[in-house]
Amino acid sequence: MRPWTEEKEDEVIYNVYLKKTDQLNSLQTPEKNWLAVKWRTVKSRTIKAATVEKLVEHLPTVIEEMDSLYLHTFFNTYLTFTNLQYVLKLLMHRYYEACHIPGSQRENLKRSKVVCFDKLLFQRQSKRRILKLTGKSLLRRVLTFFVHS
């Protein structure tokens, strides 16, 4: 599918797609029951380019929406434009801010936090490599962050 257009908003460039979705409506009259299909166009945006900070900021939303392409791309390429320590710091800051959100949103963010840190630290990384990339002090901060948030 080709993008319809691009939009730029707050250091993020989005590809914009138009999707046609069906909307079923039942029309009931005294004589007959009718089922009508109406079409509506929905605008959908995916991130094309952004700063590292904005990419990390979008991770919780992406996990809730189950955008596996974004997750796969980010976690397989982030080391080409930044480093593990910086991404860990950004994620901890992002999730620390989110700890103060009440209700079900907070539970969703907790789940997305686990997914992010799991993908970032434990998939495709050996324990020795993680220690080499992060250092013991940062890894301790990450573990403390998990225990207390």
Per residue in 10-64, pLDDT (tens digit) is 999 999 999 887 766 555 555 666 666 677 788 888 889 999 999 888 887 777 7
The residue out of 49, 65, 81 marking a domain boundary is: 49
Consecutive H or E run containing 75:
helix 68-77
Residue 24, CA distances (Å) to 18, 30, 32, 41, 145 in order: 19, 20, 16, 14, 47
* Domain coverage including residue 26: 1-49
pLDDT above 70 for 123: no
Same domain for 76 and 126, yes or no, is yes
Same-domain pairing of 37 and 61: no
Residues forming beta bridges with residue 30, ordered by sequence position: none
Regarding whether 81 and 39 lie in a shared domain, the answer is no
Q: Over 90: is that where the pLDDT of 67 sits?
A: no
Q: What is the pTM of this model?
A: 0.68
Number of domains present in the structure of the chain = 2
13, 28, 49 - which closes a domain: 49
Which among 15, 33, 49 is the end of a domain? Answer: 49
What number of H helices and E strands is found in the chain?
Answer: 6, 3
Structure tokens at 125: 């990384």
Instruction: Confirm if 145 and 116 have CB atoms less than 8 A apart.
Output: no
Q: Are residues 44 and 58 in the same domain?
A: no
The pLDDT of residue 77 is 85
Calculate Rg over the CA atoms of the chain: 21
56 and 24 in a single domain? The answer is no
| 84 lies in the same domain as 34 | no
On whether both 78 and 12 belong to a single domain, the answer is: no
